[in-house]
Amino acid sequence: MTSYPLLLVSLLLIIIMFLSPSAASSTPSDSICNSTQYPSFCKSELPNNKSANVYDYGQYSVRQSLTAATKFQHLVNSYLSRRSSLTLSAIRALEDCSLLAELNIDFLSSSVKNVNTTTTSLPTSQTEELQALLSAVLTNQQTCLDGLEATSSAWSVKKGLYTPLSNGTKLYSVSLSIFNRGWVPHQKKKPKTGRRLLFSETTSLDEVVVRDSVVVAQDGSGNFTNISDAIAAAPNKTDISGGYFVIYVVAGVYEEYVAIDKNKRNIMMIGDGINQTIITGNRSVADGWTTFNSATFAVVGKGFVGINITIRNTAGAVKHQAVALRNGADMSTFYSCSFEAYQDTLYTHSLRQFYRECDIFGTVDFIFGNAAVVFQYCNLYARLPMSGQFNALTAQGRTDPGQNTGTSIQGCNILATDDLASSNSGTKTYLGRPWKEYSRTVYMQSYMDNLIDSSGWAEWNDTFALSTLYYAEYNNTGPGSDASNRVTWAGYHVINATDASNFTVSNFIMGDYWLNNTGVPYTGGLL
């Protein structure tokens, strides 16, 4: 009789061993590091603790990442404290780096707090959020580097920042890789898909929770005469459960640079319609701005919603990179808006974004960045570029295979503007080109007019990224959709419905968890 309890205990221990997730058992650091992008660097950073598991290493690497981000910001600010010895373009690039480092500190602080609370699983929505934040940390680091490299007068600054930038990138990549291995399930639970139609055709606010609202009118009949003052009046760090701070912008042309910083969360800005409420600027790289800070409208505050607004950059094709909208706001949405410029019109910089029934106009790389973003029922208009240029609709900037990012274009129309359609310029127009090594773009269920070159896609620089990118097409229509003469790169695919479903609103940006709050219509699955 006394042997049965011991037998039961032994059986129970065996069952626990087999049922417990393998990640929770001790795992040599070599095994973990060999699955990262930087095995040697990873091994030099992680402690050699034979009793540690993937969660221990994940917690350690995220904490180390936070320390590195904090040190990097201090280093950048030390350069900025000596402004008199720097050129204006170098100062602007460093200011970008300081802002991006500050965001990284926030994202990593949140990540440390969450991964330290558990050594097993996290709720799906929380897992997706942390994967998005850790992906954005890498994007922010790369954006800082890109801005410095484009600034010829910042040579001494670049020399001093290159090593911490490079080491930071490796550390952030390792943290993302270990997080994906430990906390992200191999088979993600897919949210239910289906059509959500909560907004009326007149964009009624009946289905949206409103915290407060103000009016911007240039004639003085509202609460404010400019948009920036209205944004400043919004409360800081609000939660969506309390509703949106709604800014209604009366029809007019607003010549101002709008910035919605990280503290201004859950703002909903509503205009009187495309080409009625217009926000316009003309900053460009040619005039000394970085691409990042050339934007007419820049939003970082989480949960932003923009409706019935036109955002322009009027610098023109001759000024090269000149951004209309830069969006680095998580769970942000634009509905029935237009974005107008030439090169680099719409900078989908980072985190999770959704665009519905919007018009985007441009020439070279006019939708670019490294967000996880879905465009649904939008019109993408290629314009007539400068002589000798070709058009590329997208230039997606994924730098690491562990990032959750990419550009998904679903149910959209790919068209030429009248000036391009009527010209005899021989301009070639492509679906995209690989800005970064793991560039990822998918076109599905969209109409492509005859402006698209039969090869479909263009190189960035010779053979760069052709085997590491992921470009895909699924069930598109129109004369430009014929895939029989497409590029034969290893990274290009014609995909089926199963693969395409991974890039839908519900699965790619987890839209079912957050889009219902916005009242914006969306289709969760394939159309």
| Longest Cα separation, the chain | 95
What contacts 174, CB < 8 A, 6 or more positions away? Answer: 33, 36, 37, 38, 41, 42, 45, 46, 61
Strands 195-196 and 522-523 come out as antiparallel
Would you give the distance in Å from CA 25 to the centre of its chain? 34
| Residue reference for tokens 């009326």 | 200
Residue 76's nearest CA partner among 175, 188, 162 is: 162
Measured between alpha carbons, how far is 205 from 45 in angstroms, rounded to an integer? 51
Phi/psi at 474 (5° precision): -145, 120
Cβ atoms within 10 A of the Cβ of 215, count?
14
56 in active site: no
DSSP category for residue 390: -
Question: Measuring CA to CA, which residue among 345, 348, 341 is closest to residue 315?
Answer: 341
CB atoms within 10 A of CB 59: 22
Alpha helix (H) residue ranges in 116-264: 124-149, 155-182, 227-233
Q: How far is CA 501 from CA 193, 228, 445, in A?
A: 10, 39, 11
What secondary structure does DSSP assign to 448-506, as a single string? Answer: E-TTB-TT----SSTTTTTTT-EEEEES-BSGGG--TT----TTEEE--HHHHGGGSHH
Out of 330, 365, 400, 453, pick the active-site residue.
Answer: 365
Q: Which residues are catalytic?
A: 365
